Structure 1
Amino acid sequence: MPLSLGTNTLFGKTKRAISRILVVEDEPLTAFDNEQRLERLGYVVVGTRDNYEDARRDIEFEKIDLVLADIQLAGDKSGIDVAEIAADKGIPVLFATGNPPTECRVYALGSLEKPYTDRQLKDAIAAIDSIVAGKNFKAVKGLRLYVTP
């Protein structure tokens, strides 16, 4: 077993609160890009879903640390519906969307405005990670937070 240097440090490197991410996106190219970006950043992509029912099943049966969701999805239900069930399970949600409606604030920690760069995605997840871990975080271009620092 590796030596732990404090509760959030492993060999001098800060341990992430978020490591397993569910991507919920109905645009195939954006979904693929997000998968690739997240894996390059060292995250485990639990699944990539384009609709509520598939996302709901993953939330129900998989270990997930964060849901990265678009608002508009294939089918009748939206990313807001996905965020509601994730919030009920205590899973934080970050919306990735062009124009988030007001009701996003009820179930998500924030939203990242599309289009975004690899750096913005990385920094937005790091900010959400800090919030989840109860730490301070820095402002991120394109990220709207729905929690008070």
Structure 2
Amino acid sequence: MLFATRPSCIKRLLIIEDDPLVAFDYEHTLKQSGYTIVSTVDTGEAAVAVMATEAVDAIVLDLGLAGHMTGREVARLARDRGVAVLLVTGQCPKDAADIALACLNKPHPPAALVGALRAIETMICQNKLPRKVNGLQTYWRPEAA
């Protein structure tokens, strides 16, 4: 296990990644860190189908996907359903704050992926700024007290 602490309010993840080796690595890393992987898919269409039938706390989303649906469309749909969005991509887009809670640049070590999800948990579960994670940009908007 990479971290001794277990996930708090984010437990069930959907991984959306079109590179099978990267997807496998994410799945292994996140399972070892205590997360439940609801599904791992490579298209936006498959992601939407999973979110329609399964409870998902957060998605780990690469913007470049197979299929016709874009990563941005998936991110907006997830956000509108109250699902936390972590973008994991080669370069964080300028509009990332509009579609995600955080963006992690590729490539990154496995610990950075776990750290990025922990940062999102800190933001939405504890309503406070997370600690710094190398390669992670966060877009935290604290809820009104």
TM-score normalised to structure 2 length: 0.88
1:148 is displaced (CA, Å) by 4.4
Q: Is the partner of 2:18 in helix, strand or coil?
A: coil
Larger Rg over CA atoms: 1
Whether 1:85 and 2:77 are equivalent positions in the alignment is: yes
**1:27-64 deviation per Cα after TM superposition (whole angstroms, max 9, x unaligned):** 01000100000001010000001001110011111111
Counterpart residue identity of residue 120, structure 2: I
1:109 corresponds, among 94, 98, 101, to 101
1:131-142 alignment, distance < 5 Å: 131-133=123-125, 134-142=127-135
TM-score normalised to structure 1 length: 0.86
Counterpart residue identity of residue 60, structure 1: A
Whether 1:59 and 2:59 are equivalent positions in the alignment is: no
Whether 1:75 and 2:67 are equivalent positions in the alignment is: yes
The RMSD of aligned alpha carbons is 1.5
Change (3 A) 1:14 1:51: closer
Q: Is the partner of 1:46 in helix, strand or coil?
A: strand
Q: Is the partner of 2:68 in helix, strand or coil?
A: coil
Change (3 A) 1:52 1:136: same
1:75 is displaced (CA, Å) by 1.5
Moved over 4 A (4+): none
Tell me if structure 2 keeps the 8 A contact 1:94–1:112.
yes
Whether 1:98 and 2:98 are equivalent positions in the alignment is: no
- Number of residue pairs matched? 137
Separation in 1 of the partners of 2:79 and 2:43?
A: 17
Q: Is the partner of 2:83 in helix, strand or coil?
A: coil
1:14 is displaced (CA, Å) by 7.4
In the alignment, structure 2 segments of 5+ residues that lack a partner are: none
Percent identity of paired positions between Structure 1 and Structure 2: 37
Q: Is the partner of 1:101 in helix, strand or coil?
A: coil
Partner residue, 1:23 = 15
Q: Is the partner of 2:34 in helix, strand or coil?
A: coil
**1:109-130 deviation per Cα after TM superposition (whole angstroms, max 9, x unaligned):** 0100111111111111110011
Partner residue, 1:4 = none
